[in-house]
A and B are shown apart, each in its own frame.
Chain A
Amino acid sequence: MASATDKNEFFTVAAEPQVNSNIPPGPLAEKWTQHKFNMKLVNPANRRKHTIIIVGSGLAGASAAATLGEQGYNVLCFCYQDSPRRAHSIAAQGGINAAKNYRNDGDSVYRLFYDTIKGGDFRAREANVYRLAEISSNIIDQCVAQGVPFAREYGGLLDNRSFGGAQVSRTFYARGQTGQQLLLGAYQALSRQIDAGTVKMFPRTEMLDLVIINGKARGIITRNMVTGKIERHVGDAVVLATGGYGNVFYLSTNAKGCNTTAIWRAHRRGAFFANPCYTQIHPTCIPVSGDYQSKLTLMSESLRNDGRIWVPKTPGDKRPPHQIPEDERDYYLERKYPSFGNLAPRDIASRAAKEACDAGRGVGPGGLGVYLDFSDAIKRLGRQKIEERYGNLFEMYAHITGEDPYVTPMRIYPAVHYTMGGLWVDYNLMSNITGLFVAGEANFSDHGANRLGASALMQGLSDGYFVLPATMGNYIASEKPEKVDINHPAFAEAEAEVVERTKKLLSINGNRSVDSFHRELGKLMWDNCGMARSDESLRYALSVIPKIREEFWQNVKVPGEGEELNQELEKAGRVADFLELAELMCIDALHRTESCGGHFRIESQTEDGEAKRDDEHFTYVAAWESTGVGKPPVLHKEPLNFENVQLATRSYK
């Protein structure tokens, strides 16, 4: 390995990496089937004797809770929202991929697998991705049976649309609200189990620490967000399905409550954090309009099926869009990537937008925007057809901007959307802590360095409906977790730490609000660890983050008390964790001197500005072990072996 990746003042490298992916042997296409057969089972009558804790109730959490409950386990499910139906999976718009090949356009499990590996810039595990592609079809069947109202054609069969990074139509959708309908399907399946008594639901409850006993994850410490009560919960296994950490940037398309606390607390307890720098910047979001901005709104990628992206050819052209003649417009995606055109993958489309704006050709206030224009599609298909496909998205755009996108082209700009990184897991979705499983966006497993559109929903439901229910039984049956209860000293110790931390946050009583720190951190991360990263920018961020963190712990103001509904306290705890995570993200980004997918190091690009991978030195998963706040983490490298796919330069030209 080259010295660049070996270490610097910010981290050390484990001589003997403790990351065993546990990928089953055998040919790619038979691994999962064979593995399922080889796994141990728990007798249906014995399942209710085992308690499984699931944190998070989005697509991954709700589907896992519903399925494990249905199998007969005693499930405890936690979410910070007032109802499991509100998890942020609900906001996913465009669709869910599945290798059904209903279009007869050449799709197959292998093609979905290949597209996902390539889309992820060859930084994901083959075996995991193949399993995902294999399961994708079952997910659609399951959701249809639950009553998810997918879009249909007049013949009554399921409709498909295209998505970025693919040349087949394999995306199933429910208008622009696919995530909502899939989540409500999972929520209803979960509700059925709550009614049946197999799942006990704890809404408005936040996990604040993980409890480890004899090296195994055995429980969690939570805070009841209405009464403030700190509580202990014990189980035979813990599943974290708490989503991504995009809110480290403050402004993102995530819901305001999305946070890293559950996975970060687990990381601090020993769980490895993999590829934290892999962040997805989504190309089509509504641009920032001012300093007060609290979040960014995504405009689904599906819009790129019919919308054409362009900027004026001349820098500084301030004419309104309809006055700019056709030959003075640059449809830059169609120009640069003729075979994928406007459906180039997200990382590529985002960088191209940044490039156009950096060249002074951006539109709208501050020049941070590009047009997404539907006039051709409206001319070709009629307004009604466009309304049918994207009605709610156009409405949302009009609500926010006060402009009518049927008449004036949308203005869009990239924004933080998804985090491919997350807790490290093996093929069974178990972290390096025995008994701690991680599912959905919270893990790092399937998307490599860039996630393709309509694949997050697929992964969340694959993990929850099909993977965890299989691997959990095997874990319980082979580990036979010993009996422990909440009076174990490890619970008391973890609880005391949580109480102490809460007390500390409330007692600082400084001069700055939680939000002001969060905004400061977010801007620093966006400027230095965002769409383009460099050795210089990352070192700068790494010099500033500890200072912000230090000031936070001396000068934050958290009004109110602990034993009540206290939203500032909730935010403070989350921002405190973001302030630690941000540092690890920058260290990871600094150590990975190659560009790949969403991670773009300006030092590593081709002549025409595309991401340049360094396969010789970086074909591995970077799994980080915590050694304490502000101390250099330890890097464990899990090599990625490509046995079926040949590493190639990713081209969408």
Chain B
Amino acid sequence: MKLTLNVWRQKGPNDSGHFETYHTDKVLPEMSFLEMLDVVNQDLIAEGKEPIAFDHDCREGICGTCGMMINGVPHGRQIAGTPTTTCQLHMRFFKDGDTITIEPWRAKAFPVLKDLVVDRSAFDHIIQSGGYISVPTGAAPDGNAIPVPKPKADYAFDAAACIGCGACVAACPNASAMLFTGAKVAHLAALPQGQAERYDRVLRMVDTHDAEGFGGCTNFAECEAVCPKGISIDVIAQMNRDLFWANLTRSQPKAKKESH
């Protein structure tokens, strides 16, 4: 296959960045999208140029490291026709002669570090502000002590399947991370173990979400459409319900933890 690639190149966080065009004729339909980039990079290295920097690791769609805008859509979702990560998008979905535009995630809270690599530490900060159950190691009762109805457990799993790739933010016109935040809130709120901290958790996580520079949700649902794990925007509704209740019952504004 012959392809033309328009790729975002940016030397570092302070560089303004620009598109560069590359041609390749070494692409096979069996390759993954990242393997196609590997091939392009090997040629760039041979020509004495700097290869395109992009984040990737497991290459099996679970670590959430990879992610890029492919023809304007996170992970090339529109090309695969089904939810996918970039590493699981295969070249058989492209046609000989196609032109592909590749960009990094675009969001204020995800500054570009180099080329297609962005800084997603804002996601970690959201989890650090309550996206957990406070249970010290060794303090747990028997695993079967608290039954969890299967539908609840399944719902919790569906929400917990989030891989933290950031496609939801990249797809959102508001660069909102409500799907990401809602997924963790909904996961823990569905389980009996998560009840003790439920309302404090949602307040803190949403506060951090806003402080990190993510926008609000205005129900475009673009996030759900591109989510590689098919997480439903129901989790945002769940989060908003918990947030409403938390705000009603919060006795006094909780001092916000130092922002990171």
Q: Which A residues form the contact surface with B (CB < 8 A)?
A: 63, 66-67, 70, 81-86, 88, 90-91, 100, 102, 137-138, 140-147, 149-158, 172, 174-175, 177, 180-181, 184, 187-189, 191-192, 194-195, 201, 203, 226, 253, 255-257, 289-290, 292-295, 297-298, 396, 399-400, 402, 465-466, 469, 513, 515-516, 557, 559-560, 564-565, 567-568
Contact = CB atoms under 8 A, between A and B. Distances in A.
A70 to B, nearest CB: 5
B248 interface: no
Contacts of B163: 180
The residue among A290, A402, A559 with the most chain B CB atoms within 10 A of its own CB is A559
A195 B128 contact: yes
A154 B88 contact: no
B12 to A, nearest CB: 6
A88 to B, nearest CB: 6
B140 A142 contact: yes
A141 B142 contact: yes
5 contacts: A63-B137, A91-B62, A144-B140, A191-B132, A560-B50
Interface string B90-114: 1010000000000000000000011
A181 B133 contact: no
A138 B142 CA distance: 8
Dominant secondary structure at the B interface: loop
A253 B57 CA distance: 11
B3 interface: no
B194 interface: yes
Given A149-B191, A184-B160, A402-B90, A91 B138 contact: no
Contacts of B234: none
A255 B57 contact: yes
Lowest 4 CB-CB distances: which A-B pairs, in order?
Answer: A156-B147, A188-B132, A145-B140, A149-B157
B193 interface: yes
B188 A147 contact: yes
Contact of A292 (B38, B80, B121, B138): B38
Nearest to B42: A513
A298 B60 CA distance: 9
A147 B128 contact: no
Contacts of B5: none
A293 B35 contact: yes
B56 A396 contact: no
A466 B141 CA distance: 16
Given A144-B140, A149-B157, A90 B62 contact: yes
Interface stretch (B24-32, B167-175, B213-221, B236-244): B24-32
A194 B90 contact: no
B148 A156 contact: yes
B65 A177 contact: no
A191 B124 contact: yes
Given A82-B120, A399-B88, 15 more contacts: A63-B137, A82-B119, A84-B124, A91-B58, A141-B141, A142-B137, A144-B193, A149-B191, A156-B153, A187-B127, A191-B128, A256-B56, A295-B60, A466-B137, A565-B114
A56 to B, nearest CB: 14
Pick from B57, B92, B141, B147 the residue with the most CB of A within 10 Å. Answer: B57
A86 B65 contact: yes
A192 B187 contact: no
A83 B123 contact: yes
Contacts of B133: 145-147, 188
Task: Give the interface centre of A149, A150, A157, A256 by most chain B CB atoms within 10 Å.
Answer: A149
A147 B12 contact: no
Contacts of A295: 59-60
Interface in B45-69: 45-46, 48-51, 53, 55-65
A490 to B, nearest CB: 32
B191 A294 contact: no
A411 to B, nearest CB: 13
Contact of A147 (B130, B137, B191): B191
Contact of A82 (B59, B121, B187): B121
Contacts of A567: 51, 53
A365 to B, nearest CB: 10
A568 B45 CA distance: 9
B153 A150 contact: yes
Contacts of A257: 57
Interface in B191-239: 191, 193-194
B252 interface: no
Contacts of A91: 58, 60, 62-63
A257 B87 CA distance: 14
B143 A88 contact: no
A513 B135 CA distance: 48
Given A100-B143, A255-B58, A290 B191 contact: no
A544 to B, nearest CB: 23
Contact of A400 (B62, B88, B130, B143): B88
B157 A146 contact: no
Given A91-B62, A257-B57, A400-B90, A191 B131 contact: yes
